[in-house]
Chain A
Amino acid sequence: MEPLNALVSLANFMLIPAFAYGSQLALGALGITLIYSILRFAHFAHGDTMALGTAAVIGGTFFLQARGISIDPLPTAILALPFGIVVMAGYLLAADRLVYRYYRKVKAKPMIFVMASLGVMFVTNGITRLFMGVGETRFEDGQRFIFTVRDFREATGLAEGLALRNAQALTIVTALIVMVVLFWFLNRTRSGKSMRAYSDNEDLALLSGINPERVVMITWVITAILLVLAGTLYGLDKGFRPFNYFQLLLPMFAAAILGGLGSPIGAIVGAYVVAFAEMGITYAWRRVFTYLMPEGLEPESMMQLLPVDYKFAVTFAILVIVLLFRPTGIFKGKVL
């Protein structure tokens, strides 16, 4: 029985990656939930706009790298983030101006908005691939590890090692900062309060002199920031492939629905639940149990509930359970 080794092994292969993945999902799901509560539709272009934003950051990174600018030990992509955010905010505002605004004006049904976001998705997808192709692009540079498996073993003398990658630590820290700032913004600033008012009761908000177009604009800009951060962190962590970003759509929506569509805190909680469930169910628990069980009783199989290829099935199962038992999500949705 070596519970400490079990814990370290668990942290290394499951807890830390799941926490990082959950943070990336949370940033994405926050965007979905914000758009849902202000613009009142399910934004299907989310994954692909995320890819485009990341592509802009990658472009900026390559530009900086070519000029020898870097901020070692941090990845150069951090420096390129503002550029990506500006590009993405411009893109989303343009999309709103050219596509969504008209449907707001004619008060179209939500499904028409979704359809329009499908069109935006196609266009965005095409633009991203035009720039990046379909293959994998890696843009992580700087120091790769904060500490490696070997450092950890030498420091602690345990048999199991623990590594913390730069991208993971960065993800977790950034996500926490962004969440705190976002909640401060929504609860304390005038713009944030007007967003909440607008989401809560559109007519009353209009009566009290809130400019809806301004609220919508702020929403898109915030979404752009969240998208670019989420996409860049995901790309630093796992490499950039446009199709993977499209596939993030399902876990992001599952997270937002699980938490309650329209509830930011719900989106965050939902994202971590989805991430830990996905990783936990597709993780081979054998190592952990080998340390935990008394000698002679070690497990022989991999102790993996489902193969990794089925991580979407886990997300889907969560979604089904939520829809069956609590369709409004954990935090009753539609309150910002």
Chain B
Amino acid sequence: MSLTARDLSLFAAMGAVLAMVAMFQSPQLAVTILNMSLISAVMALGVNMQWGYAGLFNVGVMGFTAVGGLAVVLIAQPPVPEAWAAGGLGILLGLMLGVATILAAVIVYKRMAPGTLRGIALFAVLLGGYLLTSLVFGPAKQAVQAVNPASEGYLGGAGLPVILAWPVGAVFAAGVAWLVGKVSLGLRSDYLAIATLGISEIVIAVLKHERWLARGVNNVTGIERPVARPIELQPVPWVQSLAETLGWSVSQTASVVSGLGYSTLFIIVLGLLIWLAERALNSPWGRMMRAIRDNEVSARAMGKDVTRRHLMIFVLGSAVCGLAGAMMVSMDGQLTPGSYEPLRFTFLIWVMVIVGGSGNNWGAVLGAFVIWFLWVQVEPAGRWFMEIVTSGMADGSDLKQHLLASAAYMRLLTMGVALLLMLRFAPRGLIPER
């Protein structure tokens, strides 16, 4: 399932548009768009696995990317010894007690005969477990958060190289996905959608409010980066000579070089993923997945365990989203739970997949590039449009102010219209499934 000439020309056109951004706007902007597009492409690949191969509707992409981002903090940040001394053990013990409570409840539920007695036992186990957990966990959490709250107040990470966080982020997301999928797959198809919507809100709530974990809304900043920062590149001789040849300032050159460093890493990851995904899609496994998507009943009649396969692909796709989340946090060098918005991190990715062509990996990638480009560029275009609309109005009039201020929301509208138009008139997307 290779690319046709038409697909290649679409990609080439996208490249040309980015080159034009580099020429007419600024090279830094072009690199920023490129990098975010690559990350979005990885997310879109994950969603495409779930939707395109298996028809699973995941509206919790935001949650899985955020979990992946958390991995970066937990892996790359240096540990905070004072915090560990103050309450590290208590927190670990508390978490273990919490898990033990749930396991005990499950055992009680499974082993005891149904009836009032089981209900009472279940309630007792849950209540006792809850009280014990909060007794251990609460004080430990307070103690950790009290350690140097202005800059730390959390346990820190493992102090390992940041690249390690990428696979770990994928594993984290896979774990969460397994839990959600186990509960909601095998039921009506919309239930998965609602369950994922819920889990993503909860993941963000946990990230925002559990300060011992990753400082909550205080954000973790200055995370170690896999690529040298622009400021470190500026004194490097070859960067300076490059700046001279190009006729750019040194700081501009350094940030472009640093950005391209990320691009290289991301392209390697994306390339690897696409290679794997294409191999999988064209293997017996891929054909089975598509058979299940197209006709669950007959796949089941052929002896395929549909629910298990769904769970598998759901976990895989979410892992890819987690990987993308980790990549994004390590590029930004910070984890900011407050910035995770469902419209941006879940629904925009969906627009990418639909516009690009669901079921086709290359389509998802192209969709990511096109939509991210529009997302970035529609805002200035919207402002420009509003300025024209309002040019006839008196300066300082309320309506004019209001319209100018709301130009930012034009892009939500544009994305919605793009999604609806594609769904209606070209439901197979820019690069259709073959």
Contacts and interface: CB of A to CB of B under 8 A. Distances in A.
* A, B assembled together: yes
Interface of A: 41-42, 44, 98-99, 102, 110-112, 114-116, 118-127, 129-131, 133, 246-247, 249-250, 253-254, 257, 261, 305, 307, 309-310, 312-313, 315-316, 319-320, 323-324, 327
A313 B205 contact: yes
Given A111-B190, A115-B350, A120-B420, 6 more contacts: A102-B424, A115-B354, A122-B343, A310-B209, A312-B202, A316-B199
B348 to A, nearest CB: 9
Nearest to A314: B202
Contacts of A319: 194-195, 198
Given A250-B194, A316-B199, A126 B409 contact: yes
B187 interface: yes
Interface string B412-430: 1111110110011001000
B194 A257 contact: yes
Given A115-B354, A316-B198, A126 B190 contact: no
B183 A320 contact: yes
Contact of A123 (B55, B184, B188, B416): B416
B290 to A, nearest CB: 15
8 contacts: A115-B354, A121-B416, A123-B413, A125-B416, A126-B411, A250-B197, A319-B195, A320-B195
B406 A133 contact: yes
Interface of B: 55, 57, 59, 130, 183-184, 187-191, 193-195, 197-199, 201-202, 205, 208-209, 342-343, 347, 350-351, 354, 405-406, 409-417, 419-420, 423-424, 427
B187 A327 contact: yes
A42 B413 CA distance: 21
A124 B417 CA distance: 10
A316 B413 contact: no
A55 to B, nearest CB: 12
Given A129-B412, A250-B201, A42 B183 contact: no
B403 to A, nearest CB: 8
A116 B413 contact: no
Contacts of B406: 129-131, 133
For the complex of A and B, list the 5 residue pairs with the smallest distance between their C-beta atoms, beginning with the closest: A122-B416, A126-B413, A126-B412, A123-B416, A119-B420
Q: Which of A44, A125, A130, A254 has the most CB of B within 10 A?
A: A130
Given A313-B205, A316-B198, A316-B199, A130 B409 contact: yes
A323 B347 contact: no
B406 to A, nearest CB: 5
B190 A133 contact: no
A50 B43 CA distance: 30
Contact of B347 (A116, A121, A320): A121
Contacts of A323: 183-184, 187, 191, 195
A178 to B, nearest CB: 24
A41 B197 CA distance: 16
A121 to B, nearest CB: 7
A42 B416 contact: no
Contact of B419 (A119, A257, A327): A119
Contacts of A305: 130
Contact of B423 (A116, A130, A320, A327): A116
A172 to B, nearest CB: 27
A119 B423 contact: yes
Contacts of B197: 249-250, 253
A123 B193 contact: no
B194 A42 contact: yes
B48 to A, nearest CB: 14
A315 B412 contact: no
Contacts of B347: 118, 121-122
A309 B191 contact: no
B399 to A, nearest CB: 11
Contacts of B405: 133
Contacts of B208: 309
Contacts of B199: 316
Contact of B343 (A120, A125, A127): A125
Contacts of A257: 191, 194
Given A118-B419, A129-B409, A41 B190 contact: yes
A246 B342 contact: yes
A295 B173 CA distance: 49
Contacts of A116: 420, 423
Contacts of A121: 347, 416
A176 to B, nearest CB: 27
A127 B209 contact: no
Given A118-B347, A307-B209, A126 B420 contact: no
A309 B343 contact: no
B202 to A, nearest CB: 5
Contacts of A111: 55, 57, 189-190
A246 B201 CA distance: 11
A124 B194 CA distance: 20
Contact of B415 (A99, A122, A247): A122
B394 to A, nearest CB: 20
Contacts of A123: 412-413, 416-417, 420
Nearest to B414: A126
Contacts of B420: 98-99, 116, 119-120, 123
A246 B62 CA distance: 15
A327 B191 contact: yes
A250 B409 contact: no
Contacts of A112: 423, 427
A316 B190 CA distance: 15
B256 to A, nearest CB: 33
Given A111-B189, A126-B410, A119 B194 contact: no
Given A119-B419, A133-B405, A312 B201 contact: yes
B194 A309 contact: no
B419 A110 contact: no
A110 B192 CA distance: 13
Contacts of B130: 305
A180 B205 CA distance: 37
B357 to A, nearest CB: 14
Contact of A130 (B187, B190, B413, B419): B413
Nearest to A308: B209
A253 B191 CA distance: 9
A110 B194 CA distance: 14
A9 to B, nearest CB: 23
A110 B413 contact: no
A112 B190 CA distance: 11
Contact of A126 (B209, B416, B424): B416
Contacts of A98: 420
A316 B57 contact: no
